Amino acid sequence: MQKKIIVLNGPNLNLLGTREPDTYGTTTLDEISALVATHATGHGLASDFRQTNIEGTLVDWVQEAGKSADGIILNAAAYTHTSIALHDAVSAIETPVIEVHLSNVFAREEYRHHSFISDVAAGVICGFGATSYILAVDALAAMLRNN
């Protein structure tokens, strides 16, 4: 059966394209969604791509993906640095989660250096702009091939 990955995006990522382009680039979230879909198809994976500004919705989606998806790519945006609820949701599921960030959070403000996701994620990719998502698809595809 075809394996499925789901990409979950948190607050303000709907503004990509115009939001702080020096930090996040000019690629829109719709463009990233299209790139991910094409790349996932190339790996033989089905994909779903979502964005919300609401923390609880991200928690709901992580729980849902824990049952319905084989792998998760999570850019929790600012909730990365604040959300114990998301940490607990990722801990509660077996499905592997790759944490991604467009920017290199370690080269930015100190409050972005801590993530509540990293210690429960399968891996972390940050700093490559939209390519972070593509690298995460490659990482999940490799993990799922070995399963």
Contact with ligand DQA (CB under 6 A): which of 77, 90, 130, 137? Answer: 77
Q: Is 32 helix (H, G, I), strand (E, B) or coil?
A: helix
Q: 117 phi and psi, to 5 degrees? A: -100, -35
| Alpha-carbon span 23 to 28, nearest angstrom | 13
Restricted to residues 52-71, the positions that interact with ligand DQA (CB under 6 A) are none
Amino acid at 105: V
Contact with ligand DQA (CB under 6 A): which of 102, 117, 125, 134? Answer: 102
Restricted to residues 109-128, the positions that interact with ligand DQA (CB under 6 A) are 112
| 79 annotated active-site | no
Looking at the Cβ atoms of 78 and 135, the one nearer to ligand DQA is 78
Residue 34 and residue 41 in contact, taking contact as beta carbons nearer than 8 Å: no
- Provide the annotated active-site residues: 24, 101
